[in-house]
Structure 1
Amino acid sequence: MTAAAVRPFEEDDLPGAASALVEVHRSDGYPVEGVEDPRAWVRSDGVVAAWVAEAEGRIVGHVAVMRPQGEDAVSIWIEQSGDDLSGIAVLARLFVVQFARKYALGRTLTEAAMAYGRDHGLRLVLDVMSKDTAAIRLYERLGWRKIGETAHTFGSGQTITALCYVAPA
């Protein structure tokens, strides 16, 4: 295996992906909701397709394409575009552990999800917390366009600004 690679998620990847998620939460505070059950968060019911990143012999990243589940980015995009819900999916659960970011795996994972969206006739949208500036830079470099802002509520009534994006056509 090369130093780093991205491939489709397999069920055997769940423990490694969950472990990487816990590591990312410790270093970056992502996801803001916490990781009480990291396996369930990685493998939630809404996942349509997912990929993992491997580096140095372990799972170090993940991304998913998910069915819409009431995200503000979805409703904002529908309002702006007139697109039908059936043609929209959400890029979600993107994370890469700190030591592996030198391999540009966030970009490769995002590009895999974008290719899936194009191949399946889905327009991808996402929301990203305003604090996650590296992720925002990545999406913008890949041509994602900001379509709005919202307040993301989590925990015991805490809120943080989230930016909503749509993938390039």
Structure 2
Amino acid sequence: MIRPRTEADLDGCVKALAEVQAADRYPVDWPADPHGWLTPGDLVAAWVAVADGVVTGHVGLARVEPELVESLGVPVGGAVTRLFVTPGARGGGLAARLLDQVRVTAGVPLTLNVSDEGRAAIALYERQGWRRVASTRARWLNSAGEPALLHHYLSP
């Protein structure tokens, strides 16, 4: 079941994020404040996937910077952020359903960025019809200790 995230879900989200970080190194570095990492200042809404009372996935919708919207040349309703699915819940299309939840809610194209190291995520986005529109270097470091290469995508 996918539903809007509540404050009461945050501890379960942190536990799920810890599983994802141990398996995939996402986020690359464990945040000092995982609750805060899951609730960035630009967050508009968030959803969780829950199975048997346990959080198995998460996705957020964030505001986008006006200069990004201008550079894309199309109306963009927000950015997908903090998308993850626990290792035990993968393989059944849950990440795609979480993406769809955000797209339906926004009603207009969305953007997202993903590290070059996130090959499974990149494959998912491209299977879902997302289009890579740019690549840039991040301010944070990848697993090799270099500025991460970020790919920027636009939803179908």
Whether these two folds match at TM > 0.5 is yes
- Residues 132/123 of structure 1: CA separation in 2 closer, same or farther (3 Å cut): same
For 1:65 and 1:34, the matched residues in 2 are separated by 21
Judge conservation of contact 1:22–1:35 (CA < 8 Å) in 2.
no
- Name the amino acid aligned to 2:34: P
TM superposition score normalised by structure 1: 0.82
What secondary structure does 1:160 align onto?
Answer: strand
Query: Which structure is richer in relative contact order (CA contacts within 8 A, separation 6 or more)?
Result: 1
Q: 2:45 aligns with which of 49, 53, 69?
A: 49
Question: Could you tell me how far apart the structure 1 residues matched to 2:72 and 2:16 are?
Answer: 36
Change (3 A) 1:145 1:51: same
Q: How does 1:151-166 map to 2 (within 5 A)?
A: 151-154=137-140, 158-166=146-154
Q: What is the number of residues matched between the two proteins?
A: 154
For structure 1, the residue ranges without an aligned partner over 5 or more in a row are: none
- Cα offsets for 1:34-79 (capped at 9, x unmatched): 3221111112221111110112430011000001258xxx62x522
- Aligned pair in 2 of structure 1 residues 160, 89: CA closer, same or farther (>3 Å)? same
Which segments of 5 or more consecutive residues in structure 2 lack a partner in the other structure? none
**Alpha-carbon distance between aligned partners in 2 of 1:63 and 1:69, rounded to the nearest angstrom:** 19
Aligned to 1:13: 9
SS at match of 1:53: strand
Indicate the residue corresponding to 1:26 in structure 2. 22
Take 1:24 and 1:36, find their aligned partners in 2: how far apart are those partners?
16
Contact 1:67/1:90 (8 A) holds in 2 = yes
Q: Percent identity?
A: 35
Q: 71, 75, 100: which one pairs with 1:79?
A: 71
Counterpart code for 1:147: V
Moved more, 126-135 or 32-41: 32-41
Aligned partner of 1:128 in structure 2 is 114
Aligned to 1:142: 128
Query: Which string of whole-angstrom CA distances, capped at 9 and with x for unpartnered residues, describes residues 2-56 of structure 1?
Result: xxx2111111111101111122111111112432211111122211111101124
2:106 aligns with 117
Amino acid at match of 1:112: Q
CA distance in 2, matches of 1:155, 1:164: 17
> Does the CA contact (< 8 Å) of 2:141 and 2:148 recur in 1?
no
Q: Structure 2 length as normaliser, TM-score?
A: 0.88
- SS in structure 2 of the partner of residue 103 of structure 1: coil
